[in-house]
Structure 1
């Protein structure tokens, strides 16, 4: 089964970016592992970071409302961590994946005009 959680807040602290979610993952069994892969959700104007457990994939939605903080982490090559409940998971490869997606989206109508415009606006 797949589950989606959405980041509600991004906070820079101690030279790292902490992503907070309001979702609880009490029903998830086992530890979460970062996959180092990202997708794009053009309909929701979000990037999606993939995590997995022994039984599930978890899609962490990174909405456009936190992109300015992601840009700062990108510019400074800061580690990015996702905090769910009392657990933190470092989102490995997020900087490389994010840069790849940004480069791919700019000037590419396949992602939709609104997504292309928003990515260009925030990450240029």
Structure 2
């Protein structure tokens, strides 16, 4: 069964944006896949993590989208932290930016999600 983890908050730490998981977890043996998808029903972006027995989801709910926008302006990959470890989220900015451009004006994601993304990432979208 696929596991889902929720990012609760993020902070700027040593020039990295560090996202923190909502619930304490231990002994994660993850590898960053460099891939991101959306969960428009849950209003979230989802980063895929490779585990020994398949993929896990790391969800970035709407409450942390301002930090996602900030991450797009950074040249440094963000880091995901949990109780006993951390991992760099490779290819995060490229994947997120591609999704945002694809979502803009695309109601296949649902009007509510599309509108929320357009508003949260208006600065990025206005630069194109």
**TM-score past 0.5 threshold:** yes
Deviation at 1:27, TM superposition (A): 7.0
Partner of 1:33: 31
Deviation at 1:12, TM superposition (A): 1.4
Give the alignment partner of residue 57 of structure 1, picking from 55, 58, 77: 55
Aligned length: 122
Q: What TM-score comes out, normalization by structure 2 length?
A: 0.89
Runs of 4 or more, structure 1, over 2 Å off, are 22-28
Deviation at 1:103, TM superposition (A): 0.1
The runs of 5 or more residues in structure 1 that have no matched partner are: none
Moved more, 72-81 or 88-97: 72-81
Partner of 1:78: 76
Deviation at 1:24, TM superposition (A): 3.5
Question: Cα RMSD over matched residues?
Answer: 1.3
Partner of 1:22: 22
Q: 8 Å contact 1:5–1:60 — kept in the other structure?
A: yes
Deviation at 1:119, TM superposition (A): 0.7
In structure 1, how many angstroms separate the alpha carbons of the residues matched to 2:48 and 2:114?
22
The runs of 5 or more residues in structure 2 that have no matched partner are: 123-128
Paired residue secondary structure (2:53)? coil
Q: What TM-score comes out, normalization by structure 1 length?
A: 0.92
